[in-house]
Structure formats: structure tokens, C-alpha cells
Structure 1
Amino acid sequence: MNIKIAILRGINVGGKRKILMADLKELMGTLGYQNIQTYIQSGNLIFNADDKLQNKGIEQELENAILKKFSFEVPVIVLSKDNIESALAKNPFYKADADINKLHLTFLNELPEKDKLAFVESLDFAPDQFKIIGKNAFIYCEDSYHKSKLTNDFFEKKLKVKATTRNWKTVLKLWELSK
């Protein structure tokens, strides 16, 4: 069994697309996943999956099951524990004296095409900063993330990939729970 982390986009925000974590946990159990944990109401799952299952297959299965049970679409990105550990090590803004309240991580469901990536990297949103490494967009927001232009929609539209963002405290907690 492999430890996996599923990150759902856009549930329980502003009273829309509501899914109780107990219901989500139960749904995961019916799909055959084990040792299922949830973390906060924004749709973070840590669970064990069969070694043979690939992340993309789990994403599709979970998206389909949510659509069937709750009657709305929810994008899902599935990561391994190693993906989270790699992100922790590669964040260019995460230093010993960093204010982690200003750090965020946007997870991309696939590698962006080189031409789209080059265009996005040429943009400047100072004082906010970002750096895309692999399937991670590391974000530093001088003010609040909600005031930044570096949103899920921005990365999805410009890079033509699915994306979902978590604050750095949540990323650290997901890593801790996946140990």
C-alpha cells in the first residue's frame, strides 16, 4: 500500500459545492481506499492505495464518484508522499526566517507546455512572486493570497492545466499526516 494525498479544488467555499468530510471519507472507503484521514474542510485527504494504482487513475475515479454522489464536478489532484517531500525541499521562498503565512503552493495536475511556461514566467506581479518547478507553482504573497493575481484561475488559464492551491501551513500539515 502507498500513502497518497488527494487535494480537491473548490469545495465548501462560500457555502457552495458542500461536501462533509465524513461523507467524503465514507465515499473513499466505498472505493476501497484504507486508513483515510481528512484535514480541514477544504478537501484534503490522506489515504492508502494499492501499489498498482496510478495517481491519474485515482484522480479520475474520485472525480467520477464525487460527480455521481454529489451531482457536481470537483477537480482532484493526487500526490504521493514523495511529491510533498520534494515540494518542501524545492520551495525557493521557504527559508529559516520565512513568514510562512505569505507562502502558498499551487499544485498542477501535469507539467505545463514549455511555451506556455515561458510566457507565464515572463510576467511580473511584484511584490508577489512565483516560481514554477515541475508541477508546483511556489507563491510568495506580500499581502493576502486573496488579493493576489496568482490564483488557480490564472495558472489554469495561462498554462492550460488543472490547479489547486494550499497555504504553506496546510502543505506542512499534509506532509506531517502522511508520515
Structure 2
Amino acid sequence: MTTKKRYAALLRGINVGGGKKLPMAELRDLLGELGHTDVSTLLASGNAAFRTDSGASEESLARDLENAIEKRFGFTVACLVRDHAYLRAVAEACPFPAAELEGKQLHANFYSGPLDAERFAGLDPASYLPEEFRLGDRVLYLYAPDGLGRSALGEALSKPALNKGLTVTSRNWNTVVKLVELTA
């Protein structure tokens, strides 16, 4: 008997700025139609948790969801899927004092593949202080004391050249913590 594993789907760029409207109730229905159970969503910005026993890889689960969204809604949405163990490890490995910070001050940028310091070598960290970033396993931790909306480092990190070949989507720390809980 296969045990059902719990995952989070992180959708990039939906329900922001008037484009790519994807109601969360329809996302829950779509995940159910893909054979997933115990589906829930968090916020309207593209976070879902589900359980599956398909044995499929995270990449395959993400690709299936991307294809289903495009078929149903007629637009492309990049998706990342991560299991509970990974999300818990991201939270536990945070190099910043998360418990002492407001959720808006700390972000996790999730990437579709591995990161290396060479990718970010062109950034001068000293010029962005007190903002900082650290690399983890397919995640970049961003400390932005004034929030992401006012973050010069956050803007620099979002440049297409730095993210070439990878899908990236950002979540504030409150959302990361909640996704860990939802996938437990």
C-alpha cells in the first residue's frame, strides 16, 4: 500500500495586477480532478496543499498542474511543488532569526533548480545593507527589514538575467510557516 504524501503547490504570478485570475475554489477543484485529496488553499496568491499517492516527482506534479491550468483557464502559470519534508527543512535551515522578525521582513524565494553563489557574483552585498540574502537548497532567503515592496535587493534579485533557466516564486515567512503546517 502506497502512503499518501503531502505537498504544497506554489503558483507564480496569479491574481496580481488584474491578470491571470485563478479563483482558489477552482484551483482546489482542479487539484481534485488531478486525483489529489485533502486539498486546501492559502491566500489568493497561489498556494495550495494536497495529498497524493501517485508516486510522481515534484517536477511531474508541477507540470501536470501547469498543463491543467493552461487547458482550463487559457494562460500559462509556472508552478513549483514541494513536499512537507523539504518545506520543513527550509524553515529549519533559515540563516536569519525568523522568530525575531516580522513575516514581511523575511522571504523565501523558491527555485525550480539548484543555486550556486556564482549566479549572484555580480551583486555587491555591501551596497544593499542592511538587506541580505543567503542561499539554501533550491531556496534563497531574503532579509528585507523594510519589506519586499521597498527592497532594492529584492528588486535586484528578481532580474531575469539572475534567474535565467529557472522558475522562481517568492513567499513571505508567514506563508512559509503556514505551508509547513498545511503540509504536515
* Residue 5 (structure 1) aligned to one of 8, 12, 32: 8
SS in 1 for 2:178: helix
Please report how far the alpha carbon of residue 142 of structure 1 lies from its aligned counterpart in structure 2 after TM superposition: 1.8
Please report how far the alpha carbon of residue 58 of structure 1 lies from its aligned counterpart in structure 2 after TM superposition: 0.5
| Unpaired runs of at least 5, structure 2 | none
After the TM superposition, which parts of structure 1 deviate over 6 Å for at least 4 consecutive aligned residues?
Answer: none
Partners of 1:80 and 1:152 lie apart in 2 by 29
Q: Aligned residue for 2:111?
A: 108
Please report how far the alpha carbon of residue 156 of structure 1 lies from its aligned counterpart in structure 2 after TM superposition: 4.9
Report the TM-score when normalising by structure 2.
Answer: 0.88
The two structures, once aligned, show a CA RMSD in angstroms of 2.0
Structure 2 counterpart of 1:169, which letter? N
Q: Does 1:73 align with 2:63?
A: no
Structure 2 counterpart of 1:66, which letter? I
Q: Aligned residue for 2:172?
A: 167
Partners of 1:120 and 1:53 lie apart in 2 by 37
Q: Aligned residue for 1:58?
A: 61
Partners of 2:9 and 2:32 lie apart in 1 by 14
* Residue 30 (structure 1) aligned to one of 20, 33, 39: 33
Please report how far the alpha carbon of residue 81 of structure 1 lies from its aligned counterpart in structure 2 after TM superposition: 0.1
| Unpaired runs of at least 5, structure 1 | none
Structure 1 residues 153 and 12: CA distance shift in structure 2, 3 A: farther
Report the TM-score when normalising by structure 1.
Answer: 0.91
Structure 1 residues 120 and 65: CA distance shift in structure 2, 3 A: farther
Q: Is the 8 A contact 2:103 2:174 kept in 1?
A: yes
Alpha-carbon displacement from aligned partner over 1:20-77 (angstroms, at most 9, x marks no partner): 0011111111111111111110010100112511100001111111111111111101
Aligned residue runs from structure 1 range 118-157, under 5 A = 119=121, 123-124=125-126, 125-149=128-152, 150-151=154-155, 154=158, 156-157=160-161
